[in-house]
Amino acid sequence: MAPVNDQFKSFTKTLRESLFAYFFDVGGIFAGAIVASQLSIMQFSPWIIAIYPAVLSAKGMIGGLLSGRLSTALHIGTIYPKLFGNTKSFYKLYQAIIALTLITSLTISMVSIIFGNQFWGINFSDFYDIVTVVLATMSMGLAFTLVSTIVAFVTFKKGLDPDILVYPIMSTVADLGITTCYVLVLNLFFLYDQTGKEVVLAIGIFQIILVLWILARNVHDREFSKTIKESLLTIFLVAFIVNITGTILNRINEIVEGRKEIYTVYPALIDTIGDVGSVIGSTATTKIALGLIGSSFKFMKHHAPQILGAWISSAIMFMFFSALSLIINNMLTLDMFLRFSYILLASNIIAVIAISIVSLTISVITYKRGLDPDNFVVPIESSLADTITSVALFIVLLLAG
């Protein structure tokens, strides 16, 4: 009887804390509303709408790496819950995040040209525009990494579980921030002639100089090098994944034909599915690190309370997003709410099943190979979550007609 009670307590704790954390995904609705209000500038080039999920995913990947490393490090005591006077590991992690942001921006831009040439109707002459916009957007978005750090420290001090709370809150703040940065950079680049282009270029150049300085100081540092090396494979995988997501979003764009409620809700959907994967993956990696569960696929049944709690919370939020998106776009009726909620809940079921399998599989495989799961689980699943959610939404929209 005791194990059943323990599992029920784990379920209710995960449900309660996840629902609280997912509530911050409401910020994704406002990010989507920004995009919906800027659909005109999204038509300046075919790559603009396709690159949007790429910058969202890239920021989510980097934020996922940071939140995952912070959560585990706080639990095992290698990082203290304070900004100043912290351990060497904390500051090396931050410097690695800045360097990885540049590497990610350049990699995504290069891969996007290949995808764009094949699927988006662009050519290689667009590379300069893409890399300049992406680099400036991601550089400006670095400011939001401080938010996730503060959230991790506060939740840990309050006795809450940072594995459940940090990434969901961080991802929402990051999505809202990176969307604002992306729209701002696009407006500067396309609407303010040469002056705007020079400002955008200057932001990217500053980031390059900063990273060169960081590399010069840390080139022989083992901890810094380990974080960079282990993250490179993730970056290359994510670069392909996010461009697949962008291609799918282009297809969704063709289907919805300017339906603002879809654009408004889209960032919140991918946020929430990413959060589900993060909650499941982060709690699993922490349990493995602490020796509470084994590193084989048999442990999945013992992780069922966390999986179920994370899923039910996400389903509740999808219903809420449906209503909120329709209200913002002045479209709320009972019939519209029921039809739109059906689309979102059907997408939710498909996406949650897929992301749960992905998160737990990566947790087990990376740990068995002697790698740090925090360098892989949340970064990969957060990017895959965007693709999985987009595919699920695309399938349901096609079936719904």
Both tokens assigned to 65: 């790496």
List the one residue out of 387, 380, 386, 350 whose CA is nearest residue 365: 380
- Mean pLDDT value of segment 131-137: 95
> Running DSSP on this structure, what letter comes out for residue 295?
S
Q: Per mean pLDDT, which range of 196-205, 317-326, 360-369 is the poorest?
A: 360-369
- Reported confidence tier of residue 236, pLDDT bands at 50, 70, 90: confident
Q: What is the mean pLDDT of the chain?
A: 84
Is residue 280 within 8 Å of 307, Cβ to Cβ? Answer: yes
Residue 185, CA distances (Å) to 38, 210, 211, 298, 334 in order: 12, 20, 21, 48, 38
Please give the structure tokens belonging to residue 222: 């083992």
pLDDT digits (tens, 9 = 90+) for 117-127: 888 888 888 89
Is 203 within 8 Å of 54 (Cβ atoms)?
no
Segment 191-212, tens digit of pLDDT? 888 899 999 999 999 999 999 9
Does residue 374 carry a pLDDT above 70? no
Residue carrying structure tokens 């955008």: 200
Total H helices, total E strands in the chain: 13, 0
Higher-confidence position of 200 and 362: 200
Q: Quick check: 166 and 18 in contact, CB under 8 A?
A: no
Cα-only R_g, the chain? 20
pLDDT band of residue 135 (cuts 50, 70, 90) is very high
For 90-104, the pLDDT digits (tens) are: 888 889 899 999 999
Cα–Cα distance list, 167 to 25, 96, 382 (Å): 11, 18, 10
Taking a C-beta distance cutoff of 8 angstroms, is the pair 181, 273 a contact?
A: no
377 with 366: CB under 8 angstroms? Answer: yes
Domain membership of residue 385 as a residue range: 2-400
Q: In this predicted model, which residue has the larger pLDDT, 148 or 328?
A: 328
Angle of helix 162-191 relative to helix 127-141, nearest 10 degrees?
Answer: 140
Render pLDDT for 10-65 as a digit per residue (tens, 0 to 9).
788 888 888 888 888 888 899 999 988 888 888 888 889 889 988 888 887 787 77
* 58 compared with 338, residue with greater pLDDT: 338
**Tell me, what's the pLDDT at 132?**
95
* Residues 204-228, mean pLDDT to the nearest whole number: 89
- Which single residue is written with the structure tokens 């069922």? 304
Please name the residue ranges forming H helices in 192-221.
193-218
Q: Which residues contact 1 (CB under 8 A, 6 or more apart)?
A: none
Which pLDDT score is estimated for 339? Answer: 93
Helix, strand or coil for residue 148?
helix
Q: Quick one: residue 85, left, alpha or beta (phi over 0 = left, psi -120 to 50 = alpha)?
A: left
Tokens of 214: 């960081």
pLDDT band, residue 380 (cuts 50/70/90): confident
pLDDT at 152 over 80: no
Q: Which residue has the higher pLDDT, 234 or 95?
A: 95
Apex 156 CA angle, 56 and 59, nearest 5 = 10
User: For residue 167, what pLDDT band results from cuts at 50, 70 and 90?
Assistant: low
Question: Residue 130's pLDDT is what?
Answer: 93
pLDDT of 1? 47
Mean pLDDT of 133-159: 84
Three-state DSSP state, 358 = helix
- Does the pTM surpass 0.85? The reply is no
Summarize the confidence of residues 309-315 as an average pLDDT: 92
Query: Per-residue pLDDT averaged across 165-177, rounded?
Result: 75
Which pLDDT score is estimated for 233? 80
Q: Which of 159-163, 185-189, 274-278 has the lowest mean pLDDT?
A: 159-163
Q: Are 135 and 210 in contact (CB under 8 A)?
A: no
User: Among candidates 248, 271, 190, which has minimal Cα distance to 50?
Assistant: 248
In this structure, what token pair is assigned to residue 344? Answer: 């979102």
Instruction: Please state the length of the chain.
Output: 401
Number of domains in the chain: 1
All residues at 6 or more sequence positions from 228 whose CB lies less than 8 Å from its CB, including other chains: 96, 99, 100, 103
pLDDT of residue 156: 78
